[in-house]
Chains A and B, each alone.
Chain A
Amino acid sequence: MNNKELITELSKRLGVTQKQVTEMLEVSTSALVSSVTETQSVVFQGFGAFELRKKNEKTLLNPATGEKMFIPAKQTLVFKPSDTYKCRVKEL
């Protein structure tokens, strides 16, 4: 399912225009991302949690030139599915 299909489905279920859904989706995702960066975890019951996880710095070796590359530590957004949802997907 791509973003377009998601929007049509949501507008059908909520009974609002697709334009409104698009706007809401934009606000929601940006709110979600900023909340995650501020508080580090946003939990959706029955689905999962969005978290911030630290990736340690690392050095890589370019196999072609043997050059060493340094990748600095950074933070990434991760999704941790809840146990109930994980189990439901597992059986598929």
Chain B
Amino acid sequence: MNKISIQEITEIVANEAKQTKKFSEQFLRELVSVIAEYLQKDGIVKVKGLGTFKVVAVEERKSVDVASGKEIILPAHNKIQFTAENSVKQTIKGQDSNHQITESPHHQEKGQELVDKGQELVDKGQDSNHQITESPHHHSYWIWLILIIVIVDLAALAYVSVPYWKPYFDSLMENDEFAEEIEYHYTVPVDKERAREAEAVVEESGDTVKTENTEVYQGKETQEPAQAPVITLENYTYKTAMEVPVRETVTVIDGSRLTMIAYRAYGSKDFWVYVYDANRDVLRRPKDIAKGMTIKIADLPLSIVDPNNPACIEKARELAGIY
């Protein structure tokens, strides 16, 4: 570890402050002696741009003598505590320990790096474009190389993707037929998935609310075919909660918050946003909930309100963050 003393610091300070060395050294010595003196006197010294020195008392404690193995008591004493200022911490935090490389070797290294990067260029294409401009010698050479690579890449891409765009072009010719086919394929799995999810929901609610089990199940069956596309975490908006059918209604008893209702209905407190969203017509703010109110519980699929899925909880918290 390199050490420097007050002399070296003096030089830097004298240069930067445009003062004589003598004055700078005198200043630094006085600064240190004042800090030392007042730290003993007051017990605390704050220096702006550096940090806080503090004298803290340490109580006596038991310890074991390393040599003899006997228990000894370390007497109570004072020690000095130094806390660096936040700004200082920030500036130091990002520094690397091997940051001592000066400017000039750094530049040479860059040149070397550039040569090495040539290899990567083949993969990266235009990404490293701006790095090339830094080196004037290789300027035109690199540009040409990149252009060639990009063109070759594009050609390869176009060739490889022929199977993908060809049917699309074909379909454009026979537009109607194709569109129908797609729609057909699209709707069928959606309905199936929906049914599966609905069953899962019913199962879950069956665990918590036994009496409502049959009723909910029947309601489910009739609503099934009329369902809109599958609700996913991505396309959820507050309107979704208002549009989906109501699974059950809950009367607010004293002290029952949105979170509690959500916990009973969906299995997690974090889903209170969905309860709120479904009742936006009566609740202007989430806080507005009051005793005696009738709250609707939207019938949301398990893909959104799964208490065991961290992504669902994450999404709910994100939504909750808006309010």
The answer, yes or no, to whether B17 is at the interface (CB within 8 Å) is yes
Complex Cα distance A5/B2, Å?
33
Beta-carbon contacts of A1-42 to B below 8 Å, as 1s and 0s?
Answer: 111011001100110000001011111111111111111111
B78, A40: Cβ atoms under 8 Å?
no
Main secondary structure of the interface of A (DSSP, over half): helix
Complex Cα distance A75/B99, Å?
12
The answer, yes or no, to whether B145 is at the interface (CB within 8 Å) is no
The answer, yes or no, to whether A58 is at the interface (CB within 8 Å) is no
A33, B99: Cβ atoms under 8 Å?
no
B79, A89: Cβ atoms under 8 Å?
yes
With CB as the reference atom, state the residue of chain B lying closest to A5. Answer: B38
B182 to chain A, nearest CB (A): 43
With CB as the reference atom, state the residue of chain A lying closest to B77. Answer: A90
- Which residues does chain B contribute within 8 Å of A47, judged by CB atoms? 32-33, 35-36
- Which residues does chain B contribute within 8 Å of A51, judged by CB atoms? 1
- Which residues does chain A contribute within 8 Å of B1, judged by CB atoms? 40-41, 51
B38, A52: Cβ atoms under 8 Å?
no
- Which residues does chain A contribute within 8 Å of B26, judged by CB atoms? 14
B78, A78: Cβ atoms under 8 Å?
no
Chain B CB within 10 Å, residue with most, of A6, A46, A51: A6
Beta-carbon contacts of B238-254 to A below 8 Å, as 1s and 0s?
Answer: 00000000000000000
- Which residues does chain A contribute within 8 Å of B33, judged by CB atoms? 47
Complex Cα distance A41/B36, Å?
19
A36 to chain B, nearest CB (A): 8
Interface members, chain B 1-43 (any A CB < 8 Å):
1-6, 8-9, 12-13, 16-17, 19, 24, 26-28, 30-36, 38-42
B92 CB contact (under 8 Å) in A37, A44, A90:
A37
A90, B48: Cβ atoms under 8 Å?
no
Complex Cα distance A74/B258, Å?
42
Complex Cα distance A92/B40, Å?
8
Beta-carbon contacts of B182-215 to A below 8 Å, as 1s and 0s?
Answer: 0000000000000000000000000000000000
B4, A42: Cβ atoms under 8 Å?
yes
A75 CB contact (under 8 Å) in B12, B42, B47, B92:
B92
A37, B99: Cβ atoms under 8 Å?
yes
Interface members, chain B 141-173 (any A CB < 8 Å):
none
A43, B4: Cβ atoms under 8 Å?
yes
Known A23-B17, A33-B92; contact A14-B80, beta-carbon cutoff 8 A: no
A54, B97: Cβ atoms under 8 Å?
yes
B95 CB contact (under 8 Å) in A1, A9, A49, A75:
A75
Known A43-B4, A79-B80; contact A92-B55, beta-carbon cutoff 8 A: yes
With CB as the reference atom, state the residue of chain A lying closest to B24. Answer: A24
Complex Cα distance A80/B200, Å?
63
Complex Cα distance A73/B49, Å?
23
- Which residues does chain B contribute within 8 Å of A76, judged by CB atoms? 84, 89, 92-93
| Apart from A1-B45, A1-B46, A89-B55: 16 A-B pairs, beta carbons within 8 A | A5-B38, A13-B30, A24-B17, A24-B24, A26-B48, A28-B27, A33-B92, A40-B2, A41-B2, A43-B3, A75-B97, A77-B51, A77-B92, A79-B51, A85-B36, A89-B80
What would 22 A/B residue contacts be, using CB atoms closer than 8 Å?
A: A3-B48, A9-B38, A26-B48, A28-B9, A28-B28, A32-B9, A35-B9, A35-B12, A36-B92, A37-B92, A39-B4, A40-B2, A41-B1, A44-B5, A44-B32, A75-B93, A75-B97, A76-B89, A78-B82, A89-B80, A90-B79, A91-B78
Contacts from B to A (Cβ < 8 Å): 1-6, 8-9, 12-13, 16-17, 19, 24, 26-28, 30-36, 38-42, 44-51, 53, 55, 77-80, 82, 84, 88-89, 91-93, 95, 97, 99-100
- Smallest CB-CB A-B distances: 8 pairs: A79-B82, A29-B49, A39-B2, A77-B84, A3-B48, A1-B38, A27-B17, A31-B12
